[in-house]
Amino acid sequence: MKTDYDYIIVGAGSSGCVLANRLSADPAVSVCLIEAGSHDKSLRIQTPAGTITLYKSKKYSWNFFSAPQKNLNGRSLHTPRGKALGGSSSMNSMIYIRGHASDYDRWAQAGCPGWDWISVLPYFKKSENNRLGQDPRLHGTTGELNVEAARDPNPVSRLFVKAAQQVGIRRNDDFNGDQLEGCGLYNLTQKDARRLSSYRAFVAPVLDRPNLTVITDCSVQSLVIEDRVTRGVRVESEGEQTTLTARREVILSAGSLGSPSLLLASGIGPANDLTNAGIQLEHDLPGVGKNLQDHLDGLITVRSKSPLTLGFSLGSLPSILTSPLRYLFGKKGWLTTNYVEAGGFARTPLAETLPDVQFHFVPGYRSHRGRLFEWGHGYAVHTCVLRPKSIGEIRLGRDGKPVIDFNFLADPQDAKVLIEGLKLARRILADPQFDGIRGTEMLPGKQVQTDEQLMTYVRECAATVFHPVGTCKMGVDPMSVVGPDLKVHGVQGLRVVDASIMPTLISGNTNAPCIMIGEKAADMILNRNTRPYESQLARQETGTTPTSPAAETQSS
């Protein structure tokens, strides 16, 4: 095995795969991309409908569980992360969402110049291959990442969009267009009715580059640090330990759980936490593992007798049995679904000008018992708090494993927003659009009506929606871990490039922003001084100052 490279990238997820592509485009530069998981060749990964089987997979998921959540009745929450080439982009629902313009402007205002919306828009466009004919001011068409409409959405998903309109939520056909607010069918990162993970988009097409090495089933144990200079990584593969050397940089792209864990395991982090974990201190960096944020999610699930919805029953047997043929020959049918086909962004009465909740609508029955599959039919709405105020942390236990404490509902405002969001979701499902397939609400159940009862339900059943960020926060304050250039404070030759650098959680799904982070980081690493012309470029391409998704002040 070759053991020395210019760049070593730890983690072949959404950001890491972009980096591997961009850095290895220079044939004079050697790049090693390390993935602890395995290949992604399974039909469960490549077929959209297979996503539902991945979250509890022992092979393709890191089945983490959080620390007991004191404000959620002491429950430990299942926290799956992707364990394969592509990382979590090989197991997510493939939804392409950038967030709101103000999300990025907040980053810049918090001491991260160059990360405002006008500056990051060109990087979103660079990677995008929009196949929908959407606004060219705001979308790219020459990138590697296909963005397409769902191939064969279930008709019940369209009912949800119509019902949302009836209760005053506008229809939105492009959540990455001029406005974020509204409901519609989600656009997806797919190609030819197959999942397009970050690995499949950015790395698989360039595997023939002789200067790019991709290593799977390889666990990085720690960083090699000498006098606060990162020299490489210690890895274990097939029971053998090896040291890989980086001549220029080691780049951590292991995600919001993996990257801080590796820093801590290497002695970089809060001195007290490292001492308690029995780890020798290399560099006291108080912010490592802190600032954990995620979208807290509440479920409304309804049983229905209608075989129009996805589900297992005698009535649906013909469509189930023919689904492989429909998928193989027509790219249609059940196997094309990503399950959360529709959804959107809305304002509860607690919101000011911006949406404060997001919906993910499933045209199938979500088990009220937490099972992967249930016999029968139905539909469900997930509602999440879009801009949570509660902050958690990650630390290492004595066993070396990460202790994940989301600290959900530490701020009471999050509970209030979620309760109002659940009420709004119920209003949508109560609309006459659903009369033809109406069923019985299993969760929370019709007996749960008051705010106090809904609060009890939230404590009993709320969960993460799998968007952890922030644990290696970007900034210049004492609790930041990396600067705006993504270099780790106080340690040379080391950067973090993934969702963990987000100072605050963006308004929506996190895959597209992670790809943008990889694009922008690659330019910084390659010493492309983009800052002087980013704003000018964005204005030239749009004809105006880009505001998408707009800093909205809609009244509906």
Which element (helix H / strand E) includes 187?
A: strand 187-188
Per-residue DSSP letter, 466: S
Q: Tens digits of per-residue pLDDT, 99-125? A: 999 999 999 999 999 999 999 999 999
**Closest CA relative to residue 94, chosen from 303, 306, 290, 337:** 337
DSSP readout, 313-360? Answer: STTTHHHHHHHHHHHHHHS-SGGG--S--EEEEE--TT-SSS--EEEE
Q: Tens digits of per-residue pLDDT, 241-284? A: 999 999 999 999 999 999 999 999 999 999 999 998 899 999 99
- Predicted confidence (pLDDT) at residue 238 exceeds the cutoff of 50: yes
| Mean pLDDT (the chain, rounded) | 93
Q: Tens digits of per-residue pLDDT, 36-53? A: 999 999 999 999 999 999
| pLDDT band at 552; cut points 50, 70, 90 | very low
- Asked whether residue 203 is marked as a ligand-binding residue, the answer is no
CA dist., res. 327 & res. 163, Å (int): 29
Structure tokens at 379: 């539909």
Q: Which residues contact 438 (CB under 8 A, 6 or more apart)?
A: 302, 304
CA dist., res. 512 & res. 127, Å (int): 9
Which string of b and e fits 325-338 if b means at least 16 CB within 10 Å? ebbeeeeebbbbbb
Return the C-alpha torsion angle 203, 116, 82, 385, nearest 10. -150
Residue 400's pLDDT is 82
Identify whether the C-beta of residue 101 lies closer than 8 Å to the C-beta of residue 107. Answer: no
Average pLDDT over every residue of 166-178: 97
Q: Which domains does the chain have, with CATH numbers?
A: 1-60+77-148+194-292+470-556 (3.50.50.60), 151-185+296-387+409-461 (3.30.410.40)
Return the C-alpha torsion angle 506, 507, 511, 517, nearest 10. -30
Structure tokens at 238: 């097939």
**Who wins on pLDDT, 11 or 528?**
11
Beta bridge partners of 224: 232
Q: Which phi-psi region, left, alpha or beta, contains residue 487 (left: φ > 0; alpha: ψ -120 to 50)?
A: beta
- Predicted confidence (pLDDT) at residue 149 exceeds the cutoff of 50: yes
Structure tokens at 542: 């749009």
Structure tokens at 297: 């999610």
| pLDDT band at 231; cut points 50, 70, 90 | very high
Structure tokens at 167: 């209760």
CA dist., res. 148 & res. 324, Å (int): 21
CA dist., res. 519 & res. 526, Å (int): 11
CA dist., res. 464 & res. 294, Å (int): 7
Q: From residue 231, how far is each of 181, 192, 285, 520 by CA, in Å? A: 46, 42, 19, 24
**Which of these ranges, 85-99, 208-222, 244-258, 299-313, has the smallest mean pLDDT?**
299-313
Packed helices 117-127 and 531-542: angle between N→C axes, nearest 10 degrees: 70
Average pLDDT over every residue of 73-80: 97
Identify whether the C-beta of residue 73 lies closer than 8 Å to the C-beta of residue 50. Answer: no
Strand 31-34 to 61-65 pairing:
unpaired
User: What is the distance between the terminal CA atoms of the chain, rounded to a whole angstrom?
Assistant: 60
CA dist., res. 170 & res. 326, Å (int): 33
Residue 528's pLDDT is 61
- Predicted confidence (pLDDT) at residue 314 exceeds the cutoff of 70: yes
Within 10 angstroms of residue 145's Cβ, the number of other Cβ atoms is: 26
pTM confidence score: 0.94
**Closest CA relative to residue 550, chosen from 117, 227, 205, 248:** 117
CA dist., res. 409 & res. 74, Å (int): 12
- Predicted confidence (pLDDT) at residue 533 exceeds the cutoff of 70: no
Average pLDDT over every residue of 228-248: 96
Percentage of the residues of the chain whose pLDDT score is greater than 90: 87
Q: Tens digits of per-residue pLDDT, 327-377? A: 999 999 999 999 999 999 999 999 989 999 999 999 998 888 777 778 899
Q: Which residues contact 85 (CB under 8 A, 6 or more apart)?
A: 12, 17, 35, 37, 38, 39, 40, 197, 199, 203, 214, 216
CA dist., res. 219 & res. 231, Å (int): 17
CA dist., res. 392 & res. 471, Å (int): 9
DSSP-based three-state secondary structure for 441: strand
Identify whether the C-beta of residue 125 lies closer than 8 Å to the C-beta of residue 139. Answer: yes
Identify whether the C-beta of residue 185 lies closer than 8 Å to the C-beta of residue 342. Answer: yes
Residue 335's pLDDT is 95
Residue 135's pLDDT is 97
- Predicted confidence (pLDDT) at residue 63 exceeds the cutoff of 90: yes
Give CA angle at 471 (467, 474), nearest 5°: 105
CA dist., res. 513 & res. 97, Å (int): 8
Residue 549's pLDDT is 53
User: Which candidate in 100, 139, 467, 489 is catalytic?
Assistant: 467
Catalytic residue status for 467: yes
CA dist., res. 396 & res. 515, Å (int): 27
Identify whether the C-beta of residue 18 lies closer than 8 Å to the C-beta of residue 42. Answer: no
Residue whose token pair is 């749960």? 448
Per-residue DSSP letter, 446: T
